[in-house]
Each structure stands twice: as C-alpha cells, then as structure tokens.
Amino acid sequence: MRNVTPPASRPPRLLRAITLVAAVVLIGLLCLLFPRMLAFVELAARELRYLWWLVLLAAAGLYFFFFFGRKK
C-alpha cells in the first residue's frame, strides 16, 4: 500500500504574511502603473477628514447586518 497521508500544511501565520506582502506589492505596482489612481486615493484620504462620520456609519451598518441578522 502506498502512503496517502496529505502533506503538512503551511502554518496560518506564514500564509497571512505572504498574503499581506503580496497585497502591498500589488497596491504599489498599481499606483506606479496608474498615477491617476494614486491622485484619487490621496484626494479620498484628504476628504476622509471631513467625512469620517460616513465611514463610521457604514462600519456600524455592516456590524449590525452581519451580527444582528443571524438566527440564534
């Protein structure tokens, strides 16, 4: 009989670190390829100073949608 045990999986911490590094590299690459996107992101970050309450309202809505909508 052949040994059919699955190979050992990577630890979740390593996988999370690889995913985070890949996301940062992808965002950096997109900002280099599309400089107008970088300008848009900068403008959006500046406008968040005035619209922080909108982000807070959206976060509260998502929280209520996912956690209070569940059946017990």
Name the pLDDT band for 8 (thresholds 50, 70, 90). Answer: confident
pLDDT, tens only, 9-67: 767 888 899 999 999 999 889 888 988 888 887 888 888 888 888 889 999 999 988 88
Domain extents in the chain: 35-72
Which tokens go with 62? 């998502």
Residue with the two structure tokens 């807070």: 56
User: What is the separation of C-alpha 19 from the centre of its chain, rounded to a whole number of angstroms?
Assistant: 10
Cα–Cα nearest to 23, from 11, 31, 13: 31
Cβ within 8 Å of residue 31, ≥6 positions away:
37, 38, 41
Indicate yes or no: pTM above 0.75: no
Contact 61, 68 (CB under 8 A): no
